[in-house]
Structure 1
Amino acid sequence: MQHWLLGDFRTVYKFFCVWYNLLSSRDTGSPHQTPNPPNRPLSPPTMAIAGLQRISSKLIRNPTLTIISRSSATTTSSSAKVSDRIVKLIAYDFDGQKREIVGLSGQTLLKALTNHNLIDPASHRLEDIDACSAECEVNIAEEWLGKLPPASYDEQYVLKRNARHRILNKHSRLGCQVVLTQEMQGMVVAVPEPKPWDTP
Structure 2
Amino acid sequence: MAIAGLQRISSQISRNPTLSLSLSSRAILSRSSATSSSSAKVSDRIVKLIAYDFDGQKREIVGLSGQTLLKALTNHNLIDPASHRLEDIDACSAECEVNIAEEWLEKLPPATYDEQYVLKRNARHRILNKHSRLGCQVVLTQEMQGMVVAVPEAKPWDTP
Q: Distance in 2 between matches of 1:138 and 1:61?
A: 67
Higher helix share: 1
**Offset of 1:72 from its aligned partner?**
14
After superposition, give the CA deviation of every residue in 1:139-167 in whole Å (9 maximum; x if it has no partner). Answer: 00111110000000100000010114153
**Offset of 1:198 from its aligned partner?**
2.2
Change (3 A) 1:51 1:78: closer
Number of positions where the alignment pairs a residue of Structure 1 with one of Structure 2? 152
**Offset of 1:137 from its aligned partner?**
0.4
> How large is the Cα RMSD of the aligned pairs?
5.5
Change (3 A) 1:126 1:54: same
Q: Is the CA contact 2:50–2:59 (under 8 Å) kept in the aligned structure 1?
A: yes
After superposition, give the CA deviation of every residue in 1:99-154 in whole Å (9 maximum; x if it has no partner). Answer: 10000101100010011111111111111000100000000011111000000010
SS of residue in 1 equivalent to 2:70: helix
* TM, length-normalised to structure 2: 0.76
Change (3 A) 1:154 1:59: farther
Change (3 A) 1:148 1:63: farther
Change (3 A) 1:68 1:186: same
Q: Is the CA contact 1:106–1:180 (under 8 Å) kept in the aligned structure 2?
A: yes
Q: Mean Cα displacement is larger for which, 75-84 or 112-121?
A: 75-84
After superposition, give the CA deviation of every residue in 1:66-99 in whole Å (9 maximum; x if it has no partner). Answer: 69996999x8998852111100000011111111
Question: Per chain length, whose mean CA-contact separation is higher, i.e. which structure has more relative contact order (CA < 8 Å, sep 6+)?
Answer: 2
Q: Is the CA contact 1:160–1:166 (under 8 Å) kept in the aligned structure 2?
A: no
Change (3 A) 1:93 1:50: closer
**Offset of 1:192 from its aligned partner?**
0.2
Aligned-pair identity in percent equals: 94
**Offset of 1:62 from its aligned partner?**
15
Q: Distance in 1 between matches of 2:108 and 2:17?
A: 45
Partner of 1:19: none
**Offset of 1:58 from its aligned partner?**
8.3
Q: Distance in 2 between matches of 1:171 and 1:48?
A: 59
Q: Which runs of 5+ in 1 are unaligned?
A: 1-46
Q: Which has the larger radius of gyration?
A: 1
